[in-house]
Chains A and B, each alone.
Chain A
Amino acid sequence: MSTLDSKIPEGPIAEKWTNHKNNIRLVNPANKRSIDVIVVGTGLAGGSAAATLAELGYNVKAFCYQDSPRRAHSIAAQGGINAAKNYQGDGDSTYRLFYDTVKGGDYRSREANVYRLAEVSTNIIDQCVAQGVPFARDYGGLLDNRSFGGVQVSRTFYAKGQTGQQLLLGAYSAMSRQIGKGKITMYNRHEMMDLVMVDGKARGIIARNLVTGEIERHSAHAVVVGSGGYGNVFFLSTNAMGSNVSAGWKIHKKGAYFANPCFTQIHPTCIPQHGDQQSKLTLMSESLRNDGRIWVPAKKEDAEAIRAGKLKPTDLKEEDRDYYLERRYPSFGNLVPRDVASRAAKERCDEGFGVGTNETGEAVYLDFSSAIMRYGQEEANVKGLHNASDKEIKELGTKVVEAKYGNLFQMYEKITADNPYETPMKIYPAVHYTMGGVWVDYNLMTTIPGCYAIGEANFSDHGANRLGASALMQGLADGYFVLPYTIGDYLADDIRTGEISTDSKEFEEAEKSVKEQVDFFVNNKGKHSVDYFHKLLGKIMWNKVGMARNEKGLKEAIAEIKELREQFWKEVSVPGSADGINQELEKAGRVADFLELGELFARDALERNESCGGHFREEYKTEEGEALRDDKNFTYVAAWEYTGEPSKAKLHKEELKYENIELKTRSYK
C-alpha cells in the first residue's frame, strides 16, 4: 500500500498558504497568452476558476452541459455562505471557522486545506460585493449575518433563500466579461466524454456537442474538473436532473484516485417522496429547524391511523407526540447536525412510527404550531394586548413566521398542496451533497499530472460531514483564490510547449472509444429505458448503502450493482440517433458511470469499519445508538485507484494528522 503525497507545505498552519504562494513558480503574463486551460463545469467552482484564469491571461475553454453557464446546480443552494469576517463581533476568527469545519466533518478532513479555506473565506465576501452580489443588509446599510447548524457564531452571509443563485450569477458575470473579451471560449450544451492524456499528462478532452451530436477534440495544457457531486447515483436526490459523476469518473478511469466515495450527506429536511412517479426531491432549508419542532406519534396505532388517513396530526394531544430529537438530544434538540437528525428520523420510521403516505410510511412532522403561538404571544405583549384570544395570538404568530420563512412555506404548499401554517409539514431525509470525490493534493491536482479537481467534485475540505453554508464557500475559494495560484506552478513548465495538437494518436484513440460507446447505445435496441436501470440502482443504493449500512447489505449491494450493470449493457434501449439532441443518449452515458461508481461507493463503505459523519455502519455504534468512530484504525483518506473492476480498486491511504486540533468524540446530548 503506497502513501500519497498530499504536498502540504511546511511551517505553522497559519503560515502555510502564504509561504506556499511565495514559493511556487509563476508564469509571466506574456507566456500565459500561449497557454490553454480547459475547465469542465461552470458552477461556483468551475465558473469562478474560468473567470479568474482568463483574467490572469490564460486562454480558457469552458464547458457545460446546460444551455448556459448560469444554470449550473450551484444556483439552487439556498441558505448562505460562511466567512470568518467577524462583523458581528461575536468572537469569530479564521481559527474558529477552521475548527468548526474540522469538527463538523467528524475529523476526517485535511487540516491544511481546511485552514486555507477559512483563511480565504473573507476575500470571497469582498469579491462578491465588488461584483454586485446583493447580499442581505441591515438598515445601516451594512451586511447582515445569520447563524447555521453546528456553530456558535453568526458568520453566514445570505441573499434571502437564494444565496447560491446570487453567487453563481456573480461568477457568471465575471465569466461573461471574459467571454466578451474573447479570453474564454464558452462551449454550452457540451459534455465531456473522456480525458485525453499525452505522455502521462492531461492534455485535453473529448466532448460531445449535445446539439449536433458531433464528437469534438479539445486540447489544453491543463484540465480542470469542476463538475459537482454524484448524489444522483441514488436516482432520487436534491441534485439537478443532469448532475452526474461522469467527468470525475472518466478521469478516475484514466488514473485519478477517487477518495472517500461513501461520504455522502443525507439532508434531514426534504419533502418526502409522493410516489413512484417522482423524479427528484426538494430541500427545505435547514433554517426551518430553528423554529420547527420535529415529532412522530408516540403510539404505533396513531401512526397507522394517520397513514390510513383516519386521523389528522392536529388531532393528536401533546402527550401523544414524541419529539424524539428533543428527547434524545436535550442540549441540541432540533438543531443537531444533519447526519444525526437524518438517522433519528429513519430510526423512528423503521420502528413503525412514520407518517408518510407511501408504503414505507417514510415521513416525520416538522411542526410550527408552538413557534406560531410563541411568536404570537410575544407580539401580543409588544402590542399590549393582555387578553388576546388563542385565535388572535395565532394570527399574530402566523405573520411573524411568514416574514421569516414565507417563501419556503409557499414552496412547500406548491408541491404538496398542504398549508404548513395549519398542519405540520411532512419531511424526510434525502441525498443532498457528496463530501467524497476525486482525490487532490494541497494544490488541488489529482494523481494525474495537469488534471485538477475543484469544488464538490473533489474530496478535500468537508471530511465525513459538511456543515451548512460551507459548500458555497469551498466552491468559490477553490475557483477564485486557490487553483489560479497553484496551477501556475505546474504550467510554468509549459511556457515553451506551444499549442497541443489534436492530431495525435492519443486523441484519435480517445475519440474512437467515445464514438464506439455512443454507437453502441443507439444501436443496442434493448428492452428497458435508461431510467429503468437508474431507478433500480437508486433503490439498491438507498436501501443498502444509504443512511445505515452493514457488512451483509454492502456485500449484497456490490453483487447486485454488478449484476445490474451487466444487464444494463445487454438490455438498455436508447431511441433516436446520435446526430442531434438525444437526451436519452446523454442519460445513458451518465448512468453507465453511476453503475460503476455505485459499486466502488459500496466497497468504500464496506472497507471503513467505523461510523463517522454521514457514514453510519450499524455494527459500529455506542450503546445509545450513536456513531462510533475508530480513530486508531481509520484516521485516513481512502483513495481508490481504478484497476478495471470498480470493487477491485486498489486502496491507497492518506494518513490524516491532527496537529492543531485534538480528536474528540462529537456529542450533542
Chain B
Amino acid sequence: MSATEGLNLTLKVWRQKNDKEQGKMETYQVSDISPDSSFLEMMDILNEQLIAEDNEPVAFDHDCREGICGSCSMYINGEAHGPGREITTCQLHMREFKDGETIFIEPWRAKAFPVIKDLVVDRSAFDRVMNAGGFISVNTSGNTQDANAIPIDKHDADKAFDAATCIGCGACVASCKNASAMLFVSAKVSQLSLLPQGKVEAKERVQNMVKQMDEEGFGNCSNTGACEVECPKGISLENIARMNREYLKSGIS
C-alpha cells in the first residue's frame, strides 16, 4: 500500500475525565491512515500521537479485536459500531471512510451505562441482570445425566444458538431511543427457555431478570427495531416477542 493512498481525517472525540465531570467533544487530526487499518488501529495511531505531544490518550474499551468479546463500544457518526451491518467497532475498517472526512466518535449513551472516562462506559448493569437469573440452576459436579439423554429438536437448538451468540456489547441499548435492554435480556431468556434444561425454572428466570432490568434504569421497548439493525450479531426481534410471551405466561399460573 503506497503512502499516497493514506487517509487524512478530522476526528471529533468525546473526552470526559471521569463519571463526575462534564465531558465535551474535542477535535483531532490524523493523517496517512492506511485504508487497511481497522478503526481501532486508527485510534491507536491517534493515541500514539497524543502521547508524543504529552497529552492523555483517549480511553476506550477493546480487547479481542475480532468481534467476539463485546468490549468495544463506540458510537461512530451516530451509529453504534459505526457504518456497516453485523460488525463490531473493531471489525470496522478505514476503507469505509473517505479522505478528508470528519468522523464523530462518542460513547454509548444510556442512563444505565454511565460514562466513566472518555469512550468507556460502565456496563455492569448487564452483569447484574444476568446474576438475577441468566443461568440454569445446575451444579457443576459433572455428575449430570449423559449429554445425549435428552434429544433436542435441531430447529430449537439452532434458535437457541442464534440467541446465545449475543456478545453483551450494549449496542442495542445505545441504539434505542428509550435505552431499552430488551434485546439483550430477551436473547438470554429465549436461549434458555427454548432448551428443555432451561424450561424448569423459566418462570422465575423471566420474572427475576425483567425485575432487575427495570431496577437498573433501562427504558421500555416501543418496538422500533433499531436494536436489531445495529446488533453486531444480528439478534432477532423475535426474541423480544418470545420474552414477552414468557413474561405473560409466568404471571398467569
Which residue of B117, B123, B139, B157 contacts A68 across the interface (Cβ within 8 Å)?
A: B123
Q: Are A172 and B130 in contact (CB under 8 A)?
A: yes
Chain B residues contacting A120 (CB-CB under 8 Å) are 142
In the complex, what distance in Å separates the CA atom of A136 from the CA atom of B148? Answer: 12
A443 at the interface (CB under 8 A from B): no
Verify if A24 is at the interface (C-beta below 8 Å from B): no
Cα A581 to Cα B16 in complex, Å, equals 11
The answer to whether B248 has its CB under 8 Å from any CB of chain A is no
B135: contacting residue among A173, A188, A274, A583, CB under 8 A:
A173
CB-based contact B198/A132 at 8 Å:
yes
If A48-B140, A71-B70, A132-B191 touch, whether A242 touches B63 (CB-CB below 8 Å) is yes
Residue contact B36 to A275, C-beta cutoff 8 Å: yes
Across the interface, name the chain A residue whose C-beta is closest to B135: A173
Instruction: Decide: B151 and A68 in contact? CB cutoff 8 A.
Output: no
Structural contact, B192 and A575, CB atoms closer than 8 A: no
Partner of A166, one of B51, B95, B164: B164
Which residues of B lie under 8 Å from residue A20 when comparing CB positions?
A: none
How far is it, in angstroms, between the C-alpha of A137 and the C-alpha of B158 when the chains are bound? Answer: 8
**In the complex, what's the smallest C-beta–C-beta distance from B46 to chain A, in angstroms?**
11
User: Given A68-B123, A126-B145: A279 and B164 within 8 A (CB)?
Assistant: no
> B residues 120-149 with Cβ under 8 Å of A?
120, 122-124, 126-127, 130-148
Closest residue of chain A to B137, judged by CB? Answer: A177
CB neighbors of B among A130-161 (8 A): 130-132, 134-143, 159-160
Cα(A529)–Cα(B62), bound, Å: 19
User: Is B219 engaged at the interface, CB distance under 8 Å to the other chain?
Assistant: no
Asked if B160 contacts A134 (CB within 8 A), the reply is yes
**Residues of the B chain whose Cβ atoms lie less than 8 Å from the Cβ of A414:** 87, 91, 93
Residues of chain A with a CB closer than 8 A to B123's CB: 67-68
Contact indicator A68/B168 (Cβ below 8 Å): yes
- Partner-binding segment picked from B37-45, B220-228, B239-247: B37-45
Q: Are A52 and B130 in contact, with the CB atoms below 8 A? A: no
A278 within 8 A of B: yes
* CB closest residue in chain B, given A71: B69
Residue in chain A with minimal CB distance to B193: A132
A429 to B174, CA, bound (A): 38
* Complex interface: chain B residues within 8 A of A472 (CB): none
Contact of A127 among B56, B133, B144, B154 (CB under 8 A): B144
Q: Measured between alpha carbons, how far is A159 from B146 in the docked complex, in Å?
A: 18
CB distance A55 to B93 under 8 Å? no
Do the beta carbons of B135 and A575 come within 8 Å of each other? no
**A172: nearest chain-B partner, CB-CB:** B130
Query: B165 near A: Cβ within 8 Å?
Result: yes
Query: Which single residue of chain A is at the shortest CB-CB distance from B1?
Result: A275
Q: Closest residue of chain A to B70, judged by CB? A: A71
Chain B residue nearest to A182 (CB atoms) is B131
The answer, yes or no, to whether B68 is at the interface (CB within 8 Å) is yes
Question: Does any Cβ of B come within 8 Å of A241's Cβ?
Answer: yes
Expressed in whole angstroms, the Cα–Cα distance for A576 and B143 within the complex equals 51
Q: Does A125 contact B (CB under 8 A)?
A: yes
B77 at the interface (CB under 8 A from A): no
Cα-based distance from A357 to B34 in the complex (angstroms) = 13
**Complex alpha-carbon distance, A179 and B134, angstroms:** 11
The answer to whether the Cβ of A129 comes within 8 Å of any Cβ in the partner chain is yes
Residue of A nearest to B139 (CB): A55
Contacts of A180 in B (CB 8 A): 131-133
B250: which A residues are within 8 A, CB to CB? Answer: none
Decide: B165 and A162 in contact? CB cutoff 8 A.
Answer: yes
Q: With A142-B151, A211-B116 as given contacts, are A66 and B144 in contact (CB-CB < 8 Å)? A: no
CB atoms of B52 and A188 under 8 A apart: no
Residues of B within 8 A of A130 (CB): 136, 138, 144-145, 147, 197
Number of interface residues of B (CB under 8 A): 79
CB distance from B169 to the nearest CB of A (A): 10
| Interface membership of A93, Cβ < 8 A | no
- In the complex, A85 has a CB within 8 A of chain B: yes
B211 proximal to A (CB < 8 A): no
Q: Is A652 an interface residue (CB 8 A)?
A: no
Cβ-based interface call for B55 (8 A):
yes
CA distance A242 to B60 in the complex (A): 13
Taking residues whose C-beta sits less than 8 angstroms from the other chain, chain A's interface range is 35 or more
Minimum distance in angstroms from B34 CB to a CB of chain A: 6
Closest to B132 in A: A180
Say how far B149's CB is from chain A's closest CB, in angstroms. 9
Of the candidates A52, A131, A415, the one having the most CB atoms from chain B within 10 angstroms of its own CB is A131
Alpha-carbon gap, A280 to B65, bound state (A): 7
How far apart sit A357 and B5, CA to CA, in the bound complex (Å)? 15
**B71 interface residue per 8 A CB criterion:** yes
CA distance A555 to B173 in the complex (A): 54
The distance in angstroms between the C-alpha atoms of A274 and B36, with both chains bound, is 7
Contact B69 A134 (CB under 8 A): no
Known contacts A67-B123, A68-B127, A279-B41; decide if A143 and B68 are in contact (CB<8 Å).
Answer: no
Chain A residues in 8 Å Cβ range of B131: 176-177, 179-180
Report Cα–Cα, A575/B59, bound state, in Å: 12
Closest to B61 in A: A67
Kindly list chain B residues whose C-beta atoms are within 8 Å of the C-beta of A173. 130, 134-136
Q: Which residues of B contact A69 (CB under 8 A)?
A: 127
How far, in angstroms, from A241 to B65 measured CA to CA in the complex? 7
Q: Is the CB of A580 within 8 A of B117?
A: yes
State which of B44, B154, B165 has its C-beta within 8 Å of the C-beta of A279: B44
> In the complex, are the beta carbons of A137 and B152 less than 8 A apart?
yes
Is B195 an interface residue when CB atoms closer than 8 A count as contact? yes
A575–B146 alpha-carbon span in the complex (Å) = 55
Verify if A70 is at the interface (C-beta below 8 Å from B): yes
Chain B residues numbered 193-209 whose CB sits less than 8 Å from any CB in chain A: 195, 197-198
Please pick, from B69, B140, B192, the residue contacting A51 in the complex, using a CB distance under 8 A: B140
Please tell me which one of the listed residues A87, A159, A211, A576 contacts residue B56 in the complex, with CB atoms under 8 A apart: A576
Given A68-B126, A138-B154, A575-B57, A279:B144 Cβ within 8 A: no
- Chain A residues positioned under 8 Å from B127 (CB to CB): 68-70, 176, 179, 186, 188
Q: Complex: how many Å from CA A582 to CA B165?
A: 31
Q: How far is the CA of A76 from the CA of B93 in the complex (A)?
A: 20
Contacts of A67 in B (CB 8 A): 61, 71, 122-124
In whole angstroms, how far apart are the Cα atoms of A271 and B154 in the complex?
33
- As a 0/1 sequence over residues 497 to 535 of chain A, the CB contacts with chain B under 8 angstroms (1 = contact) are 000000000000000000000000000000001010000
Instruction: Decide if A102 is an interface residue (CB 8 Å cutoff).
Output: no
Considering the complex, give the chain A residue whose CB is closest to the CB of B118: A581
B29 CB within 8 Å of chain A: no
Complex alpha-carbon distance, A186 and B68, angstroms:
22
- Asked if B24 lies at the interface with its beta carbon under 8 angstroms from chain A, I say no
Please determine whether A277 and B65 come into contact, CB atoms closer than 8 angstroms. no
CB closest chain-B residue, reference A276: B34
Report yes or no: A132 in contact with B64, Cβ–Cβ below 8 A: no
Known: A132-B191, A411-B66, A575-B51. 19 other contacts (CB 8 A): A66-B63, A67-B124, A68-B127, A69-B127, A70-B130, A126-B146, A128-B147, A129-B197, A130-B145, A165-B165, A173-B134, A176-B131, A177-B131, A241-B64, A274-B1, A278-B41, A279-B41, A279-B65, A575-B54
Residues of A bordering B, CB below 8 Å: 48, 51-52, 55, 66-71, 73, 75-76, 85, 87, 120, 123-132, 134-143, 159-160, 162, 164-166, 169, 172-174, 176-177, 179-180, 186, 188, 211, 240-242, 274-275, 277-280, 282-283, 357, 411, 414-417, 480-481, 529, 531, 573, 575-576, 580-584
23 A-B Cβ contacts within 8 A?
A48-B140, A68-B126, A70-B130, A120-B142, A124-B142, A131-B135, A131-B136, A132-B192, A137-B157, A141-B151, A159-B161, A159-B164, A165-B68, A176-B134, A241-B65, A279-B44, A283-B66, A417-B93, A480-B140, A481-B142, A575-B50, A582-B59, A583-B59
| Contact surface of B with A, Cβ cutoff 8 Å | 1, 17-18, 33-34, 36-38, 40-41, 44-45, 48, 50-52, 54-57, 59, 61-71, 87, 91, 93, 95, 116-117, 120, 122-124, 126-127, 130-148, 151-154, 157, 160-161, 164-165, 167-168, 191-192, 195, 197-198
The 10 closest A-B pairs by CB, nearest first: A141-B151, A123-B142, A173-B135, A180-B131, A134-B161, A130-B144, A129-B147, A581-B117, A240-B63, A274-B36
